[in-house]
A = this chain, B = another copy of it.
Amino acid sequence: MARTVGSDGARTEDAIRQAAISLIAERGFEAMTLRELAGRVGVQPGSIYRYFPSKARMLVDLLVEHLQFLLGQWEAGRPATDDPVALLRAFVDFHVRLHTLRRREVFVANMELRSLAPADRRRVVALRRRYEDILTDILRAGSEAGAFHVPDPRIATFAVLAMLTGVGSWYREGGRLGRRELVEQYTQLAMQCVGAVDTGSAHRAVNAHEGRRD
C-alpha cells in the first residue's frame, strides 16, 4: 500500500496520457473506462485522480495539448516564404507527416469533439479553427495571385483538409507505401485539387519515371 517503490509522478502521468490516447482512439472516449485505462497503466483507478480532476477534463487536456503542439510545430517549421505554392507544398508535407506520425491523437481530436462540454468544445474548436485558417490563408493568397483556382477558399480548405486528414484512417505504418511516397502522392492530389497552375517539382518528381503527361 502507498507508494510503489520507485514510483514517479511524472512518469505515471505520462503513461496515463499515452494510454488514454490509445484507448480513446480504440474505443472512443465514452466507451473507454477509467478502470481499463488504469489497468493498462498498471495503477488503480483512484490513482488517476492524482493527475486529472475528472475524466472529462482529461479529454480537454489531451485535445488542447495536441492542437497546441500542432500549431507550435507549424509555426516553428514553416518556410519563410510568401509563395503560396511553396507554402501549400510545405503544409501538405507537414500535415500528412504529422497525421501519420501522431495518428491516434489526430483521430481522437477529430472524433471526440462532441464528447466535450460546450465550453470546452468552444475552446478546442477555436484552436482547430486557427489551424484551418493557416490553410485558408494560403489558399486565399494563392487564389488571388492566380496560382490556385478554387471556387471558394474556405470550402476548398474544408475539402483539402478532409482529403489530407483522411489519410489517417487508412494509412498503416509499415504498409505498402512509405511516408515519403505518401506525401508525394497527396501533394500531387492537393495541388491538382486547388488547380495549381504549375504543380511544380513534386508533381514532376513523382511522375517523371512514369513518363506521364509532362
> In chain A, residues 115-170, which have Cβ atoms closer than 8 Å to a Cβ of chain B?
115, 149-152, 155-156, 158-163, 165-167, 169-170
Q: Does A31 have its Cβ within 8 Å of any Cβ on chain B?
A: yes
Q: A185, B155: Cβ atoms under 8 Å?
A: yes
Inter-chain CA distance A207–B160, complex, in Å, is: 19
Which listed residue, B26, B166, B177, touches A163 by the CB 8 Å rule? B166
With both beta carbons as reference points, the residue of chain B lying nearest to A149 in the complex is identified as B212
Inter-chain CA distance A177–B155, complex, in Å, is: 10
Copies in the assembly, this chain? 4
Instruction: List the B side residues contacting A212 at CB < 8 Å.
Output: 149, 195
Q: Does A27 have its Cβ within 8 Å of any Cβ on chain B?
A: yes
Q: Does A111 have its Cβ within 8 Å of any Cβ on chain B?
A: yes
Q: Does A194 have its Cβ within 8 Å of any Cβ on chain B?
A: yes
Q: A151, B30: Cβ atoms under 8 Å?
A: no
Q: A170, B195: Cβ atoms under 8 Å?
A: no
Inter-chain CA distance A111–B99, complex, in Å, is: 18
Q: A115, B31: Cβ atoms under 8 Å?
A: yes
Instruction: List the B side residues contacting A186 at CB < 8 Å.
Output: 155, 159
Contact status of A166 and B162, CB under 8 A, knowing A28-B30, A28-B115 = yes
